[in-house]
Each structure stands twice: as structure tokens, then as C-alpha cells.
């Protein structure tokens, strides 16, 4: 990948709106459903044209940095060129076709943006995943998604190779690396030699675009399938009001590219506005690097999980004043009012909240400039009609606890997932009367502000990660010390919630040192599945509470953790 010498001069604060004049991205109304939509041709190429016509400032479209001082800056023109090449690599060299699935497991590298947009240009459905995954996680995903292709780095390529023979649908493997590997196509050199002539597919708005894996109470993660409408929604006026991004903004979303938040914020939201997407490679989370980056680069807006802001606030930084930062937003888990206040006091910048899921994208939020009610996740963002509903789907009066529902009848709104791929039963289970039931509990006040309360099921939200207890229990079951286990959410001052495992030991391990065993079980879970799922708390118990039919009462254990019993 070549590095552009594209010059970048951040506009002074008082001039930051100048690039807006004459350069408005194509717009729709909140409830429009155009027959055809494609983010690559409709949005990205639009900004390329604006650049050509001198109607957009000099800021790059993508600005990537790492700790070693490497930097990549690509203009929209370069993005169009490179993503057309990527499209040709996938179709001409890789033989992939519109509708095929491509597993995308890359860290925060510039190629991630080439792959996603390259897929959108061709209609290939990308399925992002975090690089924290282990071979077993990858095997499951490749098998259930029937991915024909995979693209990853040399760190994960051996894991893929160890399971590839069990994935009959997998035909092609792309490697993003400076080294080659047998059986893998070298994406970086292919991009260099590929043609930049490519005609974007005329995708229908309802055509599938991406699949996000998302955890539930039972079983392994489900596949939330989204159509092109997920990207279209970012063009709707109500969505634009959320961050009010401009071409002069430099926007940094810290979410790992395996999650929907990165796809939405680091691509659709930012580029719809013609803003600069800023990315730090950030191979490991480090609050120091985040604070230094916000101080060094002209970042104007930043979006991250509440845990990130919490972890920064808990360090002893001498100053948290950032020269260009104007707006910050937290999403992925609950944010506490005192954290919002502490962030404002120390940085001078307000911390807003957004809420969404892999199934829904950004569902509600405090729009920039809207009154912040500390602790509230804001109001519904049209076209979503969000209501608090009971178990029959009836709308509840203000200030009454219920499930967060999004109206899907008579019309399913643009931006909501299509279905769980190959799982009509689980898809149907989310329908409740005229609503999609998020499974999240909340209240809504008379002004329409929504107040998050927790999950209605056993799903754990630890520092913004949605974790299914069954995934952790299944990993624990592989260890010889574990006779059975129950995994629940437990409160934590830093991560909001953490994973806690109640473990019944097998007889031969009963006399073992408990602290040592705890560490061993934690390391075991980290080694067989993505480490963010490991139980940070372990309690050894003689037996688990069960119903008369033998079902583990996770609910009882969870309530005890939260002092509700």
C-alpha cells in the first residue's frame, strides 16, 4: 500500500464550515426508500467528484496513524481508485460474485476500508469479526455464514488454516501482510496491479450488504443481516443531526472494526458528511495513547464505548484539555451521569450518549446541541419509532419500565436488520406485536428521553461487548476441572459489567488451590475463544441453583450479584 503525500492542513476553528458551501451530499428524507442505493457510488464517489470540482477542502478522507510514526492519508479520489481496485481483486482474481459472503477479520489497518467499500461496489456481503477471535470462533463463523472468502492478517492466517478443511464453502483466502503465505492471495500486491476501472453494481436498497455476528442468551452468535439501507440511513436528515459532521471535521471512532459501531461511525456517518475518518492502529487498548492522540492530532469529534472514557478518567492525567476536540459521544453500553459530568469538567467538552445494537444500528441518542439529561440515552432517531412496550407489544405510558421496541408494522424502517440469517425462528422471536423487541429494558419520560435499565435476558454487556453466557460456559466446559458452570453478569466500577462464572468442580480438582485454578480457567477461556469474554470473576460453588426441570437459574445468580435478592 502506498502512502499518499496528500498535504493536510487543519482548518482554523473559525473557518471550519467553509467547505460546506456547494458541497452537500445527496439527501433523502427520513422516510424515503429509494429503489436503488449504493454507498460507494452514491456517497464516496460523490465526494470524489466534489474534490475534483474544488468543492471540498484539502482534508483527507482517511487518515491512519500508528505508534511507529507511520501515516496513511488518502483523499476521496484515492479511496475511489483503491476501492475500485479492491472490487476487481475480489471479483476478477478471487472469483467472488454479488451475494457471496466474505469474512473480514482485520485490525484497524487502512485496507479494512478498501475491503468494505470494495465489497459494497460489487455487492459482496462482508461479515466483520474482531481479530481477538480464536480458531474455534473463526470456524463457527465460516461454517454458519458459508463464507466463500476470507481476508485477514498473518497473525490469524494460521488459525484459519487450522480449520479451513472443515469449511467446504471457503474457496479463497486473502492475506493483508508484507509477507506471503502459501495458499493465500497477497491483497497488498494485488491492489497495486489491479485495474481501477470498475462499474459499481446497481444495488437495490433492500439488497444484503453486511452480516454482523451478535451474541444471545443461548447458543452461539446469531447473524444479523443488514441491507444497503443501513448505509442509506446515515444520509437521512435526522441521522445527520446526531453528530452534525462537516467536511472539515476529523472524526475518530475507537471501536474495533469487528463491530457494527465501526462500520457506522468510521465509514457511513463520517463519509456521508464528507468528513475525515481518523484511525489509530491501536493494537492494544492504552488510555495514554488515546490521550496523546487527542492532543497531537486535530481531531474534532470522538466516539467510543463509555468504558474508554471511564478508563481515561480513572488515570491520573495532568491535563485532559484537547486543542481541537469539540464533541464526544459514548455508545455500546450504559454511561453514568457522574461520568458525563466528570468528563465535561476535565475536558471542557460535553459527552453525549448514543444507543444501538448490531440489529438496529444507532437507534437513539442525544443529538448534538440537544439538551443533555444526564444518564439518558436520548430520543429515538427517525425513521425509528421507538416505544417502551410490554410483553404483548402494547405501548406503555411514560416513566413505566418495559422493553425498548422499534415499530416494524405496517412498515419496517430503513436501517433495521433484515433477519437473522438462516434462522427464521430466532428472527420471529424478536417480533412483539407491531414492534421489534430489542430485549433491553428502559423507561421513556414525557419528553421522549429514554433511560436504560438493563437486559431482559441473560446477555452480558461488558465494556461494550455483548457476550452470551452459553459461549463462555461452553469454553469452560472444555476444561477438565469444570463439572458445570453458570455464567452471569456482575457489576464492575470500570467496565460497567463483567463476566462472572459460578463453577462446580469435578471431584479430582476439589483439593486444588482456588486462586491458581481461577487463573488457569481464565487463561483457558482466553485461549479457546476471544479473550474479551473471559470471566474476570470466578466463584467455586458446590452446586448451581436449578429449576425442577434442571434448567440453571442464571437469573437468580445475576440478581444476587446486583444485590437484588
Q: How far apart are CA 419 and CA 359, in angstroms?
A: 8
Based on CB atoms, which residue is closest to ligand BCO, 247 or 357? 357
Based on CB atoms, which residue is closest to ligand BCO, 110 or 258? 258
Based on CB atoms, which residue is closest to ligand BCO, 300 or 358? 358
Based on CB atoms, which residue is closest to ligand BCO, 287 or 375? 287
Q: Are 122 and 95 in contact (CB under 8 A)?
A: no
Q: How far apart are CA 105 and CA 84, in angstroms?
A: 20
Place of cell 421507538: 386
Provide, rounded to whole angstroms, the least separation between the CB of residue 92 and ligand BCO: 33
Q: Which long-range contacts (CB under 8 A, 24 or more apart) does 186-194 make?
A: 187/89, 187/111, 187/115, 187/151, 188/1, 188/111, 190/89, 190/93, 191/1, 191/82, 191/85, 191/86, 191/89, 191/111, 191/114, 192/2, 194/85, 194/86, 194/88, 194/89, 194/92, 194/93
Q: How far apart are CA 500 and CA 533, in angstroms?
A: 10
Provide, rounded to whole angstroms, the least separation between the CB of residue 375 and ligand BCO: 18
Determine how many CB atoms are found less than 10 A away from the CB of residue 76: 24
Based on CB atoms, which residue is closest to ligand BCO, 235 or 266? 266
Q: Are 283 and 155 in contact (CB under 8 A)?
A: no
DSSP code for 40: I
Provide, rounded to whole angstroms, the least separation between the CB of residue 18 and ligand BCO: 31
Provide, rounded to whole angstroms, the least separation between the CB of residue 173 and ligand BCO: 21
Q: How far apart are CA 32 and CA 238, in angstroms?
A: 12
Closest CA to 102 of 111, 430, 110, 265: 111
Written as nine digits, the cell of 516 is: 491458581
Provide, rounded to whole angstroms, the least separation between the CB of residue 155 and ligand BCO: 9
Written as nine digits, the cell of 239 is: 441521522
Contacts with ligand BCO, residue ranges (CB under 6 A): 132, 255-256, 259-261, 283-285, 305, 307-308, 331-332, 356-358, 361-362, 463-465, 531-532
Provide, rounded to whole angstroms, the least separation between the CB of residue 555 and ligand BCO: 23
Based on CB atoms, which residue is closest to ligand BCO, 448 or 531? 531
The continuous run of DSSP H or E covering 524 comes out as helix 514-528
Provide, rounded to whole angstroms, the least separation between the CB of residue 42 and ligand BCO: 22
Q: Are 396 and 404 in contact (CB under 8 A)?
A: no
Based on CB atoms, which residue is closest to ligand BCO, 255 or 293? 255
Q: Decide: helix, strand or coil at residue 267.
A: helix
Q: How far apart are CA 284 and CA 337, in angstroms?
A: 28
Cis peptide bond N-terminal to 383, omega within 30: yes
Place of cell 477479520: 105
Provide, rounded to whole angstroms, the least separation between the CB of residue 322 and ligand BCO: 18
Based on CB atoms, which residue is closest to ligand BCO, 201 or 487? 487
Based on CB atoms, which residue is closest to ligand BCO, 88 or 360? 360
Based on CB atoms, which residue is closest to ligand BCO, 405 or 464? 464
Q: Are 279 and 255 in contact (CB under 8 A)?
A: no
Written as nine digits, the cell of 450 is: 429514554
Provide, rounded to whole angstroms, the least separation between the CB of residue 259 and ligand BCO: 4
Alpha carbon 66 to chain centroid, angstroms:
21
Closest CA to 468 of 520, 541, 548, 530: 530
| SS3 sequence of 129-146 | CCCCCCHHHHHHHHHHHC
Based on CB atoms, which residue is closest to ligand BCO, 270 or 362? 362
Q: How far apart are CA 26 and CA 48, in angstroms?
A: 13
Provide, rounded to whole angstroms, the least separation between the CB of residue 310 and ligand BCO: 8
Written as nine digits, the cell of 293 is: 492522540
Chain residue whose CB lies nearest ligand BCO: 356
Provide, rounded to whole angstroms, the least separation between the CB of residue 305 and ligand BCO: 3
Provide, rounded to whole angstroms, the least separation between the CB of residue 287 and ligand BCO: 9
Based on CB atoms, which residue is closest to ligand BCO, 488 or 525? 525
Amino acid at each position: 500500500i502506498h502512502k499518499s503525500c496528500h498535504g493536510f492542513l487543519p482548518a482554523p476553528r473559525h473557518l471550519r464550515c467553509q467547505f460546506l458551501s456547494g458541497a452537500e451530499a445527496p439527501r433523502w428524507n427520513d422516510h424515503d426508500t429509494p429503489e436503488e442505493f449504493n454507498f460507494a457510488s452514491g456517497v464516496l464517489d460523490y465526494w470524489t467528484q466534489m474534490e475534483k470540482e474544488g468543492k471540498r477542502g484539502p482534508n483527507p478522507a482517511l487518515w491512519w496513524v500508528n505508534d511507529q510514526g507511520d501515516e496513511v492519508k488518502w483523499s476521496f479520489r484515492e479511496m475511489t481508485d483503491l476501492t475500485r481496485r479492491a472490487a476487481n481483486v475480489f471479483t476478477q482474481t478471487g472469483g467472488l460474485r454479488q451475494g457471496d459472503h466474505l469474512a473480514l477479520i482485520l485490525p484497524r489497518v487502512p485496507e479494512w476500508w478498501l475491503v468494505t467499500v470494495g465489497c459494497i461496489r460489487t455487492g459482496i456481503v462482508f461479515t466483520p469479526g474482531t481479530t481477538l477471535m480464536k480458531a474455534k470462533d473463526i470456524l463457527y463463523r465460516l461454517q454458519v455464514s458459508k463464507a466463500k472468502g476470507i481476508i485477514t492478517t498473518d497473525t490469524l492466517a494460521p488459525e484459519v488454516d487450522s480449520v479451513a478443511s472443515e469449511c467446504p464453502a471457503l474457496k479463497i483466502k486473502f492475506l493483508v501482510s508484507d509477507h506471503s503465505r502459501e495458499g493465500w492471495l497477497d491483497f497488498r500486491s494485488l491492489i497495486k496491479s489491479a485495474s481501477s476501472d470498475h462499474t459499481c453494481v446497481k444495488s437495490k436498497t433492500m439488497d444484503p450488504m453486511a452480516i454482523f455476528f451478535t451474541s444471545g442468551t443461548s447458543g452461539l452468535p446469531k447473524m444479523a443481516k443488514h441491507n444497503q439501507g443501513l448505509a442509506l440511513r446515515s444520509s437521512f436528515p435526522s441521522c445527520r443531526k446526531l453528530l452534525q459532521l462537516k467536511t472539515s471535521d476529523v472524526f475518530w471512532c475507537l471501536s474495533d472494526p469487528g463491530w457494527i459501531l465501526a462500520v457506522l461511525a468510521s465509514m457511513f456517518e463520517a463519509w456521508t458528511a464528507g468528513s475525515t475518518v481518523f484511525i489509530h492502529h491501536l493494537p492494544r487498548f492504552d488510555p495514554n495513547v488515546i490521550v496523546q492522540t487527542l492532543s497531537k492530532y486535530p481531531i474534532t469529534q470522538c466516539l467510543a464505548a463509555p468504558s474508554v472514557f471511564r478508563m481515561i478518567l480513572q488515570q491520573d492525567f495532568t491535563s485532559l484539555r484537547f486543542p481541537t476536540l469539540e464533541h464526544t459521544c459514548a455508545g455500546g453500553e450504559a454511561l453514568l451521569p457522574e461520568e458525563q459530568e466528570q468528563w465535561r469538567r476535565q475536558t471542557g467538552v460535553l459527552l453525549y450518549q448514543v444507543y444501538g445494537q448490531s440489529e438496529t444500528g444507532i437507534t437513539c441518542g442525544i443529538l448534538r446541541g440537544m439538551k443533555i439529561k444526564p444518564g439518558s440515552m436520548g430520543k429515538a432517531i427517525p425513521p425509528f419509532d421507538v416505544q417502551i412496550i410490554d410483553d404483548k407489544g402494547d405501548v406503555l405510558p411514560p416513566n413505566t419500565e418495559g422493553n425498548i421496541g422499534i415499530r416494524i408494522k405496517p412498515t419496517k424502517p430503513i436501517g433495521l436488520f433484515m433477519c437473522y440469517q438462516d434462522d427464521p425462528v430466532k428472527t420471529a422471536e424478536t417480533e412483539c406485536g407491531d414492534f421489534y423487541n430489542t430485549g433491553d429494558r428502559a423507561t421513556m419520560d414525557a419528553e421522549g428521553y429514554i433511560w436504560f435499565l438493563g437486559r431482559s435476558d441473560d446477555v452480558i454487556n461488558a465494556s461494550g461487548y455483548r457476550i452470551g453466557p452459553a459461549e463462555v460456559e461452553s469454553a469452560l466446559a472444555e476444561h477438565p476441572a469444570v463439572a458445570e458452570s453458570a455464567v452471569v453478569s456482575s457489576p464492575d466500577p470500570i467496565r460497567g459489567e463483567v463476566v462472572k462464572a459460578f463453577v462446580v468442580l469435578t471431584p479430582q480438582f476439589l483439593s486444588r488451590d482456588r486462586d491458581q485454578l481461577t487463573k488457569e480457567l481464565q487463561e483457558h477461556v482466553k485461549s479457546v475463544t476471544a479473550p474479551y469474554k473471559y470471566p474476570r470473576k470466578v466463584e467455586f460453588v458446590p452446586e448451581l441453583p436449578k429449576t425442577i426441570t434442571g434448567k440453571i437459574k442464571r437469573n437468580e445468580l445475576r440478581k444476587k450479584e446486583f444485590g437484588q435478592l
